[in-house]
Amino acid sequence: MATDADRYAVASQAQLIWWRFKRHRMAMISMVVLAVFYILALGADFLATSDPQATDSRTSYIAPQPIHLFDADGSFRPWVAGIKGVRDVKTFKLVYTVDSNRRVYIEFFGHGYKYSFLGLETDRHLMTLKDAQRGEGIYLFGTDLLGRDLWSRLAVATRVSLTIGLVGVTISLFLGVLLGGLSAVYGGVIDTIIQRAIEVIRSLPAIPLWLGLSAALPNDWSVTQVYFAITIIISLLTWTDLARVVRGKFLALREEDFILAAELAGASQLRIVFHHLLPSFTSHIIAAVSLALPAMIISETSLSFLGLGLRPPAISWGILLQDAQNVQTLALAPWLLLSAVPVVLVILAFNFLGDGLRDAADPYG
């Protein structure tokens, strides 16, 4: 007991938060899950098994295919089933189906489509097929109507959707800290104006406005331009929560002794803000950010799902889910719903993480 108390007595603020955070098992697990997702996003192209953009009518709607680890003789030699074309007796069209008698072996670190990783041009992938015929591939999660591999597309989409959240949150954070801070530091008229603006923005129906604004983006914009425009549109309406957190904390901390001491010591307003206030509630900001991120991700996914966010050839979770919009399609190719799994996992994880962080940063708040 006594040693515990001693440890607490000498622990820094950050250590205390970390200790409290470690007690939230779900938050810890979520942190690991998110780390895995971001690593996946970083290595998306390396993990992709085929070109996410390559279409092939032969491979339309192939159901997910497992990877068999052992060959017939029991040796470790992973393979997947190939495909074969069968001529339809009535229409005389070639119909391709999975041929479970044909084994196509997997090669690790083989050559596939070209991509650039951190500025490096390469064509190495974790898994490719050896001696594959056209149309054959590793279809872990199946394929879509145009015959594109869902696993590879999901990997790349994860990168887009996860980073759009980060970029969006950075913009929101900037606006939130700036306006929330101004509001708290100067008070008076400025505070009133900013507070009213926040109330007004919070009572706007977000989705119709997003839809309207993003529909107005010129059709000839490049994928990157649309990407940034969408992020900005989303951020413009989501900074208010962060601003409220920041303002609340500013006001609470202003009253505390060390700020008073700094003020008495003649530190300037801005110095107080940046040297004393901001560091003392980074933890709150991190918590608020991790709760704001899922909202960003849902927004992008919803917009793209409706066809008014990112546009093909961009790939994001929303765009993948767009293919699953229709019940008939889903009945035919239910695996298209797999795109929903990472969405749900990531949002859940961010929520748990944010909760854990908030509790750890502010056990009494």
Which residues contact another protein (rule: CB under 8 A)?
Answer: 1-2, 5, 196, 199-200, 202-209, 211-213, 215-216, 218, 294, 298, 301-302, 305-308, 321, 324-325, 327, 330-331, 334, 337, 340, 343-344, 347-348, 351-352
User: What is the Cα–Cα distance from 29 to 26, expressed in whole angstroms?
Assistant: 5
Question: Counting Cβ atoms within 10 Å, is residue 249 exposed (0-12), middle (13-18) or buried (19+)?
Answer: buried
Residue among 170 and 325 whose Cβ is closer to another protein: 325
**Least CB distance from residue 46 to another protein, whole Å?**
28
**Least CB distance from residue 47 to another protein, whole Å?**
24
Show the tokens assigned to 209.
């406005």
Write out the H or E segment, with its range, that includes residue 203. Answer: none
Residue among 262 and 345 whose Cβ is closer to another protein: 345
Residue among 129 and 295 whose Cβ is closer to another protein: 295
User: What is the Cα–Cα distance from 300 to 41, expressed in whole angstroms?
Assistant: 17
Residue 222: how many other CB atoms lie within 10 Å: 9
**Least CB distance from residue 330 to another protein, whole Å?**
5
Residue 247: how many other CB atoms lie within 10 Å: 23
Residue among 217 and 286 whose Cβ is closer to another protein: 217
Q: Which three-class secondary structure state does DSSP give residue 246?
A: helix
User: What is the Cα–Cα distance from 226 to 74, expressed in whole angstroms?
Assistant: 51
- Inter-helix orientation angle 188-202/223-254, to 10°: 130
Residue among 43 and 64 whose Cβ is closer to another protein: 64
**Least CB distance from residue 1 to another protein, whole Å?**
6
CA angle, residues 130, 133, 136, in degrees to nearest 5: 85
**Least CB distance from residue 308 to another protein, whole Å?**
6
Residue among 177 and 236 whose Cβ is closer to another protein: 236
Contacting residues for 107 by C-beta, under 8 A, at least 6 apart: 127, 128, 129, 130
**Least CB distance from residue 142 to another protein, whole Å?**
15
Residue among 281 and 335 whose Cβ is closer to another protein: 335
**Least CB distance from residue 122 to another protein, whole Å?**
35
Name residue, tokens 């590879």: 152
Residue among 312 and 334 whose Cβ is closer to another protein: 334
Name residue, tokens 């009494």: 364
* C-beta of residue 17 within 8 angstroms of C-beta of residue 283: yes
Phi, psi for 105 (deg, rounded to 5): -90, 150
**Least CB distance from residue 60 to another protein, whole Å?**
20
* Sheet strand arrangement including 76-87: 68-70, 76-87, 94-117, 120-129
**Least CB distance from residue 338 to another protein, whole Å?**
12
Residue among 263 and 355 whose Cβ is closer to another protein: 355
